[in-house]
Amino acid sequence: MGNAEMLDQTLGVIESFRKRSVIVLGDFYLDEYIHAIPLGLSPEFAVPRLLERAREAVPGAAGNVAANLAGLGCEVFAVGAIGEDGAGQRIAGLLNGLGVNTENLLRSADRVTGTLSRIVSDAPHGGSQHLLRLDQERVPSGSGGIEAEILARLGRLLPRVQGLFCSDYEESVPGTGLLSAVSVHKVASLARASGVRSLGSSRRRAALLAGVDGVIMNRAEAQLLGLSSPQRIETFAAECLERLGLQYLCITLGEEGVFCADRAERVRVPARRSELIDPCGAGDTFAAVFFAAMLSGSSLKEACRIANEGAAVVVGKHGTVPLTNEELSRQLKYGARGGGKLREPAELEALLEGLRSTRRIVFTNGYFDLFHSGHVHFLKKAKELGDILVVGTNSDRSTRENKGEGRPLLSESERIEILAALDVVDFVTVFDELTPINLIRRIRPHVLVKGGNYVEDEVIGSDLVRAHGGTVVIVPHESKTTTVGLMHLIKHASDGLRSTS
C-alpha cells in the first residue's frame, strides 16, 4: 500500500471516530490557570511578586479525556461525582459546552470538586513559565451508596456505547478519587457483559485497574508499578498483562516513543518530533486518540501512531486544550506546515462566524503552483480590500483533475507552507472539489477577489457573495510572470542544458 492510500485509510479511521460512543468514568477536576505578570520580589518576604492578569478554567483529569473524545467527534457520557460547589457547576457547564453529556455526574454536598490551580508567569515579550500548582481536594465525609448508584448508571448506559474509559487521578489526598469508592473489577465485569471494550489510566495506582481490557501509562506510572529500567520493559509488560489480566498495555516514554504489548506481539512506535510549549494534558489527548482508534478497528501500532500525532498538536499549545478531529486530520496530512494559519473548511467556517460582524473578510483562491512574484503582488492587493485574507488552494487531486497529469508541480503541502509564510495571508485552507463553490458557501466573504481578465459574472461564487451583500473585485495582473510561462522557460533552459551536455 502506497503512502497516499495509507493516509486515506488513516483519515477514514479518524472520520469514523464520529460514530463512536464512549463512557468516561472517574475524577472530573477543574483545571484553572492564573496568568500573572512578574513584579520582582515581595517587600514582605523574598518570594516572587506577581500581578494577576487573567484566569481561565478548563475541564481537567477525566474531564480532559472526555473533552478530547468529544473534540474527536465521539458521543461522550461523563460518569462521576462532583461537589455542589462553584467548581462543580463550572466543570459541568464547560463539558456541556463541549458536547459532553453530564447527566450522570453525581452532585454531592460532602464532596469538594477537585481543582488544580496553576500560577503562570507571563513574560512581557512573550513566553510563560509555570511557577506553582495548588490542588484543592477533600476526602468525602460519607460515600455510602455511591458505588451502587454509579454501577446503576453504568448499567443503563453501557448498552448504548462501544467503549468505557476509567480515569483515576487520585494522587495527593488518599480517598478522594472516585475509584477509591467504586470497584474497577465490578465496572469491568459490567462492561464485558455488555460487550463494551474498556481502557484505564491511573496517576499512581495502576494496579487497581485489574480487569479492564487495556491500561495506558507513562514512564513514571510504570515505575510505580515496578518498571526498574528501560531494558526490562518487555518483561515488565508481560508481568503486567498476566498480573492485571489485561489484553494489552501501552506505555508512553516521552522522547523514546511508545511501547505497546498484547498477548501476541510487542510494538515500538518512535516519538513524534514537535515543538514543546506546554505538556499539560498531552497524556489525556494521547489516551483519548488511542482509545478512539482502537474502538475504530486500528491495530496497536496504528493506534499509537495516530495518538502520537494528536499529542504532537496539543504540546504546541498553552494550557490544557483538547484536540479536535479537524486538527488531527490536518496534522496527519500536513504536519506542522501552515502553523496556526492552516484550517480545515469546517473549522474556518466556525472561526470566521465570530469575526464577521467586526472584520471585513476577503477570500481568493487559486492553484498557486510554481509560486512567483505575480502571486505576491496579487495577494498584497487582495489584503488591501479588507481585514482578514483567506486563501483557498486546490488539493493535489483537484489540481490534477483541472490541469491534467504532471500538475501540480508543487504539492499541496509545499503550497500551504509558502502561502502561510506570507504576512498578508491570515488563513489558508485546501479544497478537494474542482471549484471553490462549497468553500465560498461556508466562508461567506465580504469580498471575493480574482486576478486577471475575468468578467465579474464569470467568477465562481460571485452570485453567492453578492446575494449576501458582498462585492466581487477583479485585480488586473501587474506582472507578466505566469506559471505556464515559467514552465516553458524552465523546459527551454533544461533542453538547452541537455543539448550541450
Active site residues: 284
End-to-end CA distance of the chain: 39
- The secondary structure of 12-24 as a DSSP string is HHHHHGGG-EEEE
Query: Other CB atoms closer than 10 Å to residue 43's CB: what's the count?
Result: 7
* Cβ(475)–Cβ(375) below 8 Å: no
Q: How many CA atoms lie within 13 A of 257 on its CB side?
A: 12
Backbone angles phi, psi at 365, to 5 degrees: -145, 165
Positive or negative, the CA dihedral 429, 431, 437, 442 is negative
Q: Taking a C-beta distance cutoff of 8 angstroms, is the pair 428, 393 a contact? A: yes
CA distances from 498 to 201, 207, 266, 501 (A): 63, 70, 52, 5
Contact 338, 428 (CB under 8 A): yes
Q: Which helix (H) or strand (E) holds 82?
A: strand 75-83
Rounded distance between C-alpha atoms, residue 351 and residue 411, angstroms = 26
What is the DSSP code string of 374-388?
HHHHHHHHHHTTSSE
d(CA 141, CA 147): 15
Residue with cell 500560577: 119
- Residue 139, Cβ neighbours under 10 Å: how many? 14
Q: CB-based contacts of 439: which residues, under 8 Å, 6+ apart?
A: 345, 363, 365, 392, 429, 431, 433
- Give the DSSP H or E segment for 306: helix 300-314
**Helix or strand or coil: residue 27?**
coil
